[in-house]
Amino acid sequence: TLSPNPKMAAGSIAPEEMEELREAFSKVDVDSNGHISTDELNDLFKAANLPLPGYRVREIVEELSSTMDLNKDGKITFDEFVNVVHGLKSSDVAKTFRKAINKKEGIYSVGGTSEQSSAGTQHSYSEEEKVAFVNWINKALEKDPDCQHVLPMDPTTNDLFTAMGDGIVLCKMINLSVADTIDERTINKKKLTPFTIQENLNLALNSASAIGCHVVNIGAEDLKEGRQHLVLGLLWQVIKIGLFADIEISRNEALVALLREGESLEDLMKLSPEELLLRWANYQLEQAGCPKINNFSSDIKDSKAYYNILNQVAPKGDEEGIPPIAIDMFGLREKDELHRADCMLVQADRLGCRQFVTATDVVRGNPKLNLAFVANLFNKYPALKKPENQDIDWSSIEGETREERTFRNWMNSLGVNPRVNHLYLDLSDALVIFQLYEKIKVPVDWDKVNKPPYTKLGSNMKKLENCNYAVELGKKEAKFSLVGIAGQDLNEGNRTLTLALLWQLMRRYTLNILEELGDGQKVNDDTIVTWVNNTLSEAGKPTISGFKDGSISSSLPVLDLIDSIQHGSIRYDLVKTEDLTDEEKLNNAKYAISMARKIGTRVYALPEDLVEVKPKMVMTVFACLMARGMKRV
């Protein structure tokens, strides 16, 4: 994570205290995204019911977040948290803060021995989130014949946590968020046993990671046992990825309408989906001649902004085949905020967008659920027109390639901070690269790293210095081949050269896993091919000449290898073996990738990578399978 000096902070803190802090952090960071926001901090204080006046709470939160959030991005990472809580040990603020964490109310504290984690610690989760997710899932999977054994879930009970236990609902939700992630044929649906349930959960977790969820601290056990805060954290990530999928300029060029005076297209592309949504809401408010909002928490509590946005985006009947829906604004006059929110939600319902929030969530300004509410509204009624502006260079809007997406998902699943939304723009200060170096055990001297906020003047200089250091580390410490790559290429987002570095990072990461399993023995492409050949030969299957072998296009070598590692796992009746059309190849590949995940490998490659025999991604698939095979013995 992004820390001024994680080593030092960790070094001076006793392990028990570190554990306690980690615990506290995870309690606040319920979506396990590796950071807590000012909002979450705020909620924590409010929920804690401290005998403090409101202004004092605000002061404390301000003080804490300004001291903690060292890089001023509105997000407090664990390391920032440790540094400051530790530094403030004896102060009033720290005491209050600790008390708040220990007394968290309204956010449920889980009691009872069976639900406590092995360390005997307590976790908490938000009841509102549970209700929201249950309703969302009930609706999304309403007609799915494979989920009828658990749906509809009752939002007032703990149904959700039991229902998630066999992995089916989670697999379905992942596939809904990113279509075609999971091959339906690999989900175990009938006569489930502990073993086949475990397989479903493996499939779900490894697929979640492949779509960019940060699942490092969650295991199949946690899902099976329905550990509430972990289940909700994972679900939120999955749901959010689905909600945000189209809030991206290359997928929806009409978003360019949100460009402001004096802004470049690149400025707009740099915005995160959260920022784009806020932009969008304000655009609609501006069109309606209403005041702007700064957030989806305090600023939407009175429902006024929501009323105006609904009114603005509701179909007017000017589009063929879409009947007009007139929003009834009468409820705006309602004096009581809760009643007003209720009336507003009745109108949202008429648009089919009453999702994620209750009137109480609106009035309390729950930031997470309100964000989801707005994202869903945007997806259904974007109400934006692609501008016909001559000055816009439409050709510079390029969709993400498969390779770029795979790298991005890989790094996000490792929990880099901030989350990477746009591969090149978000790496321009190399901060994420440094975190990846740490993941491959290349030590980073954080004193040499410039951290945000960068002053306006010379900000790119600071970023460039970081990039130079990143290239230097790659050459000197990681011993990468970086011929012709300079810091400037990363900073400017030269695609080819950035990808070259990223590939070496991902490759090293993959090989490290194998070397750890093999007690440090060096591993290279040949080692992997030899292992694959031996394993295939032993099982009486054809071998491969390398990662470019044309036979890989049919996925048969991968399927055979999976079947050799876990005997009888491949249903060959589902596999086409001869005279394959492109579609049949893709079908085999989908089956192979999902099966690899199901037997427990974290494969990031996509089916197309096998069909097209992309040697790099093919190598990662075989390397992951080798790791799985080595664990077998």
Ligand X SMILES: *[C@@H]1O[C@H](CO)[C@@H](O)[C@H](O)[C@H]1NC(C)=O
Nearest CA to 304 out of 337, 332, 343 is that of 332
Strand 124-126 relative to strand 107-109, pairing:
antiparallel
Residue 522, CA distances (Å) to 49, 476, 508, 545, 564 in order: 56, 19, 11, 21, 24
Q: Supply the minimum distance, in Å, between the C-beta of residue 280 and ligand X.
A: 17
Nearest CA to 181 out of 231, 136, 245 is that of 245
φ and ψ at residue 205, rounded to 5 degrees: -65, -45
CB of 388 or CB of 393, closer to ligand X: 393
Contacts of 524 (CB under 8 A, 6+ apart): 511
Nearest CA to 378 out of 509, 262, 244, 483 is that of 244
HSE (side-chain half, CA atoms, 13 Å) at 524: 1
Give me the residues that bind ligand X (CB under 6 A), please: 39, 42, 171-172, 175, 179-180, 182, 184, 187, 294-295, 297-299, 484, 489, 494, 496-497, 526, 529-530, 533, 543, 545
The structure tokens listed for 432 are 């994420």
- Euclidean distance between CA atoms 381 and 383, whole angstroms: 5
3-state secondary structure 143-191: CCHHHCCCCCCCCCCCHHHHHHHHCHHHHHHHHHHCCCCCCHHHCCCCC
Query: CB-based burial of residue 389 (10 Å sphere; 0-12 exposed, 13-18 middle, 19+ buried)?
Result: exposed
CB of 39 or CB of 560, closer to ligand X: 39
- Euclidean distance between CA atoms 324 and 304, whole angstroms: 22
Q: Where are the alpha helices (DSSP H) in 29-178?
A: 38-48, 54-68, 78-87, 92-102, 127-140, 159-163, 168-177
Q: Where are the alpha helices (DSSP H) in 288-366?
A: 304-313, 337-350, 359-364
Question: Longest Cα pair distance anywhere in the chain, in angstroms?
Answer: 77
